[in-house]
Structures are given as structure tokens and as C-alpha cells.
Amino acid sequence: MIYAYIFVMAGITYLIRMLPLTLIQKKISNIYIRSFLYYIPYACLTAMTFPAILYATKSPVSALAGFAVAILLAMKKKSLVTVALFSCGAVFAVERIMEML
């Protein structure tokens, strides 16, 4: 019976991926749909990343400090390496300060 479950789920997964490619033949000209589709990757990445940020450290306080530093540096258009290094440094510093308290 397990093979039937696997076969059905494989078929459903295939249909979900195949149907939009076969049903939508022409270029999407509606500006609202194009705008919606443009932001889907960013929304999915955020939905996957934000919970991981909160649970990756010992304390949510240090996670939020690192997140805040990352947001500030990203808004100032710093490079990805700079944002990552400074946010990791902020998490490290906040965790050390919390250990002393």
C-alpha cells in the first residue's frame, strides 16, 4: 500500500509543476499578475529564513540583534559577506553579554 501512496504523491507533485508550464503558453501581460509572480521568490525565501534565524541561537534576543544588524546593513547596500560577518558578530557579542548578566 505504501507504493500506492508514493505513486499518487509523485503524480500530484508532477501535475503541480507541469500544468502551469503547459497551460500558460503566451507571455503574461497583466501588470498585477507579473508583479505578484516577481515577488514570490522573495516571499518564499523570507518564510523559510526568518524562523531559522530565530531558532539558530541560544536566545531569541541575540537572534533579533543579528537580524537587526543584517537589515540595517542590507538597507545601506553593503555586500553579502559584510552583512553576514557583522550580523554573526552581533549575535556573538549579544550572547557573550547575556552570559555575563
pLDDT, tens only, 13-39: 999 888 888 888 888 888 998 898 888
Residue 52 to residue 29: CA distance in whole angstroms: 36
71, pLDDT greater than 90: yes
Q: What was the pLDDT predicted at 26?
A: 84
Nearest to 69 by CA among 54, 85, 56, 58: 85
Q: What was the pLDDT predicted at 43?
A: 86
Average pLDDT over the chain, rounded to an integer: 91
Residue 87 to residue 101: CA distance in whole angstroms: 21
Nearest to 69 by CA among 55, 89, 50, 53: 89
Q: What was the pLDDT predicted at 11?
A: 94
What's the rounded mean pLDDT across residues 54-62?
A: 90
Q: What was the pLDDT predicted at 7?
A: 95
